[in-house]
Amino acid sequence: MTEIDDIPDMPALRAEIDALDAELIALLARRRALIDRAARIKKAAELPARIGWRVEQVVANARRHAAEQGLDPELIEAIWRQLVEAAIAQEDRHLKGDEE
């Protein structure tokens, strides 16, 4: 990984951002695959897509990690709540037999 202060110009900086975005997308794709697995486990166990305490645990973890990295916990919470809601909708589709 390139040290941030070693990036010489805007084209190089943009290339670093684009590469990082690709890594983030790959991580989100892995998260989606994990959610698919969670849905299969929940279906077998007859659990609902939304488990309230787990939603709050995931959001609290994201806030804590954000603060540890010097990020705005409020912003990260808002992003994570959207991410979690999308995951719940994804699980719900699986539980109802409407997998994409």
Domain boundaries, the chain: 8-95
Residue located via tokens 């698919």: 36
CATH of region 8-95, choose from 1.20.59.10, 1.10.357.10, 3.60.15.10, 1.10.274.30:
1.20.59.10
Per-residue confidence at 3, pLDDT binned at 50, 70, 90?
Answer: very high
Nearest to 92 by CA among 27, 29, 43: 43
Report the mean per-residue pLDDT for the chain: 95
Whether the CB-CB separation of 72 and 66 falls below 8 Å is answered with yes
Of 7-16, 62-71, 89-98, least confident by mean pLDDT is 89-98
Q: For the segment 35-49, what is each residue's pLDDT rounded down to a tens digit?
A: 999 999 999 999 999
Q: Span 38-66, mean pLDDT?
A: 97
pTM: 0.86
Q: Span 17-28, mean pLDDT?
A: 97
Say how far apart CA 25 and CA 58 lie, in whole Å.
19
**Segments in the chain forming alpha helices (H):** 10-45, 52-68, 73-95
Q: Which token pair is 8?
A: 């010489």
Backbone torsion region of residue 54, taken as left when φ is above 0, otherwise alpha when ψ lies between -120 and 50, otherwise beta: alpha
pLDDT given for residue 98 in this prediction: 74
Say how far apart CA 28 and CA 82 lie, in whole Å.
13
